């Protein structure tokens, strides 16, 4: 109804509908019981493309309107991923292409002209602001960009609703209508990456409490430490604080994504990728350099890491307008190799390595040729490595 109104058309003029969705939504829409998707082996009831009358699934359109659903690929890799593959065609490009659609369940595609591999990884909702102390959706007042001075540890940030940085004249006036209300996904990625680059957190993700002597931004909270990104300026606002638990939630999410990527790279037999495309609304707004600093994605030439925008939607439009595209994606999906992360024995070891920032052992030469790494911490006299490790454990 809303789409037809936006197009200034009558709903009875709709004759064709193309749809993409994750497996759960796909099954529910089609009236298929999704219970099998909740337990291993996470089996799809159907992975075929669906061509039916729209009225059969309760969609309001012309009485004879047709509905085409792109095929699902695997238990947690849905028709939305098929739309991404149709739009991006990673299996046709030169070199090794990684496509990542970041969400609560990240969908990952790794392809070259010889093979097409797919999997999903359970990143959880942290990148969308959930489970983060000051987290929120990307709406007015949410912090979306962050920079931290490496010497003073003072931050500056941008919020949705203003083009000004927080240290620029006029920022408070620009934000007076709604204030600084929290931090959204893109801001969370940037602030944790910036905290690492500034030395506020260690490669293990521990907020360094010793920095209280350098900055009042470091605040003790029980046995751990936090970083105050924004001090409330009015009674209606609250401090925006990045807690030790917030950092842990981001580590868990990014480690799950990176582990899924590594499984595909292992299966493909490649130590590196040539090109990375970040799909979806979240992928369109995050800073690629900060995502790589965080260890969300593997090392790659930053010029070859780009946003794909709403690639799933683009694939749906292609299928809507071109019947040959429907045949193409059905054939392509049949050749795709599915990797099930939930039962892969190597997933846990990859996950543990990916908890560090950016990674425990993987090198990032492309990244750190363009981004200055954190300054090496010096050991104070009498402060042995053994003592510092014990301190880190108590703070974690």
Q: Is residue 219 part of a domain?
A: yes
Question: Token pair of 174, please?
Answer: 């620009």
Residues 211 and 300 in one domain: no
3-state secondary structure string across 281-344: HHHHHCCHHHHHHHCCCCCCCHHHEEEEECHHHHHHHHHHHCHHHHHHHHHHHHHCEECCHHHC
Alpha helices in the chain (DSSP H): 2-6, 23-29, 79-88, 171-174, 185-197, 244-268, 280-285, 288-294, 311-321, 323-335, 347-354, 365-368, 385-395
Mean pLDDT of 17-29: 92
Residues 235 and 284 in one domain: no
Q: How confident is the model at residue 378 (pLDDT cuts 50, 70, 90)?
A: low
Among residues 114, 80, 125, the alpha carbon closest in space to that of 99 is found at: 80
From the number of C-beta atoms within 10 Å of its C-beta (0-12, 13-18, 19+), residue 380 rates as: exposed
Q: Is residue 380 part of a domain?
A: no
Q: How confident is the model at residue 1 (pLDDT cuts 50, 70, 90)?
A: low
CATH number for 102: 3.30.420
| Cα(232)–Cα(225) distance, integer angstroms | 19
| Cα(249)–Cα(370) distance, integer angstroms | 27
Q: Is residue 46 part of a domain?
A: no
The DSSP code for 227 is: E
Residues 141 and 238 in one domain: yes
Residues 226 and 325 in one domain: no
For 67-91, write each residue's pLDDT tens digit: 999 999 988 899 999 999 999 999 9
From the number of C-beta atoms within 10 Å of its C-beta (0-12, 13-18, 19+), residue 173 rates as: exposed
Question: Can you give the pTM of this predicted structure?
Answer: 0.90
Give the range of the structural domain holding residue 343, as residue numbers without chain letter: 75-125+250-351
Residues 291 and 206 in one domain: no
* CA 235-241-243 angle, 5° bins: 145
In DSSP terms, 276 is beta-bridged to 98, 305
Residues 258 and 111 in one domain: yes
In DSSP terms, 52 is beta-bridged to 67
Contact criterion met (CB below 8 Å) for 293 and 300: no
| Cα(337)–Cα(326) distance, integer angstroms | 19
**Domain end (from 242, 276, 308):** 242
Question: Token pair of 8, please?
Answer: 């200034």
pLDDT at 105 > cutoff 80:
yes
Residues 262 and 325 in one domain: yes
Q: Is residue 24 part of a domain?
A: no
* Distances, alpha carbon 171 to alpha carbons 87, 165, 174, in Å: 39, 7, 5
| Cα(288)–Cα(303) distance, integer angstroms | 9
Q: Is residue 263 part of a domain?
A: yes
Q: How confident is the model at residue 111 (pLDDT cuts 50, 70, 90)?
A: very high
How would you list the strands of the sheet with 116-121, edge to edge? 305-309, 275-279, 97-101, 106-111, 116-121, 337-338
Q: Is residue 26 part of a domain?
A: no
The DSSP code for 104 is: S
Average pLDDT of the chain to the nearest whole number: 91
Using DSSP, state whether 384 is helix, strand or coil: coil
What's the pLDDT at 388? 44
For 304-337, write each residue's pLDDT tens digit: 999 999 999 999 999 999 999 999 999 999 999 9
What's the pLDDT at 284? 81
Total structural domains in the chain?
A: 2
Question: Token pair of 211, please?
Answer: 């920095």
In DSSP terms, 142 is beta-bridged to 182
Q: Is residue 22 part of a domain?
A: no
């Amino acid at each position: 109804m809303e789409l037809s109104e936006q197009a200034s058309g009558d709903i009875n003029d709709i004759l064709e509908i193309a749809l993409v969705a994750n497996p759960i939504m796909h099954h529910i829409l089609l009236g298929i019981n999704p219970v099998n998707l909740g337990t291993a082996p996470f089996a799809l009831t159907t992975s075929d493309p669906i061509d039916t009358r729209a009225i059969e699934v309760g969609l309001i359109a012309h009485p004879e309107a047709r509905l085409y659903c792109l095929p699902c690929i695997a238990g947690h890799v849905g028709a939305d991923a098929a739309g991404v593959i149709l739009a991006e065609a990673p299996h046709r490009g030169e070199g090794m292409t990684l496509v990542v659609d970041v969400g609560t369940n990240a969908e990952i595609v790794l392809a070259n002209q010889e093979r097409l591999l797919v999997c999903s990884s359970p990143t959880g909702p942290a990148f969308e602001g959930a489970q983060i102390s000051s987290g929120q959706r990307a709406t007015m007042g949410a912090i979306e960009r962050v920079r931290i001075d490496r010497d003073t540890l003072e931050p500056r940030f941008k919020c949705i609703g203003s083009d000004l940085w927080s240290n620029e004249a006029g920022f408070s006036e620009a934000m007076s209508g709604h204030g600084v209300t929290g931090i959204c996904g893109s801001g969370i990625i940037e602030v944790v990456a910036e905290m690492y680059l500034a030395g506020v957190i260690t490669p293990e993700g521990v907020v360094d409490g010793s920095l209280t002597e350098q900055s009042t931004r470091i605040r003790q909270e029980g046995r751990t430490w936090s970083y105050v990104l924004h001090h409330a300026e009015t009674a209606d606002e609250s401090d925006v604080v990045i807690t030790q638990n917030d950092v842990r939630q981001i580590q868990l999410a990014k480690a799950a994504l990176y582990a899924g990527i590594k499984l595909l790279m292992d299966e493909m037999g490649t130590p590196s990728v040539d090109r990375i495309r970040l799909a979806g609304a979240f992928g369109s707004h995050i800073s690629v350099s900060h995502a790589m600093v965080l260890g969300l994605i593997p090392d790659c030439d930053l010029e070859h890491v780009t946003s794909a925008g709403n690639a799933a939607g683009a694939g749906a439009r292609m299928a809507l307008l071109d019947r040959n595209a429907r045949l193409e994606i059905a054939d392509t999906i049949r050749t795709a190799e599915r990797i099930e992360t939930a039962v892969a024995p190597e997933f846990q070891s990859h996950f543990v390595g990916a908890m560090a920032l950016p990674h425990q052992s993987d090198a990032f030469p492309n990244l750190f040729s363009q981004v200055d790494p954190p300054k090496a911490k010096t050991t104070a006299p009498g402060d042995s490595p053994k003592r510092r490790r014990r301190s880190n454990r108590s703070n974690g």
